């Protein structure tokens, strides 16, 4: 499976899932590890998504639902920049110093990633 296949699959799952953002609500007493006796994961409409889950797992599930689309978009942007770099590297060869100006690619990737918001 290619990186673009993974991105497509992640975005398809994200679109098919219950509306984001999700949140986790623990309930009951806490054990010696600080976990509550149970918890629920709710979608953006307040409907149960996962009826019983421990604190850490519930928080991860809720965060993953919100972050998945942003991470897939960021990875797609980076792959697009890498594709563009393959093309522009041959066009950006400096005859005087014999270098491809990779710092331009780094700046483009940094700019793309700084625009990502979950």
pLDDT digits (tens, 9 = 90+) for 14-70: 788 777 788 888 777 666 666 656 777 888 888 887 666 666 667 777 778 878 888
pLDDT confidence of residue 105 = 66
Q: Is the pTM of this model over 0.75?
A: no
With cut-offs at 50, 70 and 90, classify the pLDDT of residue 76. confident
So where are the chain's domains? Answer: 3-114
pLDDT above 90 as % of the chain: 0
Peptide bond into 15 cis (omega under 30): no
Cβ count near 93 (within 10 Å):
12
Is it the case that residue 79 has pLDDT exceeding 70? yes
CB 37 within 8 Å of CB 29: yes
pLDDT confidence of residue 67 = 80
Q: DSSP H helical segments within the chain, as ranges? A: 3-16, 55-91, 102-114
- Residue given tokens 């990502």 in the structure block: 116
């Amino acid at each position: 499976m290619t990186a673009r296949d993974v991105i497509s699959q992640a975005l398809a799952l994200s679109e098919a899932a219950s509306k984001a953002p999700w949140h986790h609500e623990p309930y009951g007493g806490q054990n010696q590890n600080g976990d509550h006796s149970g918890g629920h994961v709710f979608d953006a409409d307040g409907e149960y998504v996962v009826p019983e889950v421990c604190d850490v797992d519930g928080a991860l599930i809720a965060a993953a639902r919100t972050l998945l689309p942003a991470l897939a978009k960021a990875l797609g942007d980076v792959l697009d920049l890498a594709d563009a770099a393959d093309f522009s590297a041959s066009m950006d060869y400096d005859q005087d110093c014999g270098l491809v100006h990779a710092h331009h690619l780094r700046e483009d990737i940094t700019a793309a990633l700084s625009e990502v918001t979950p």
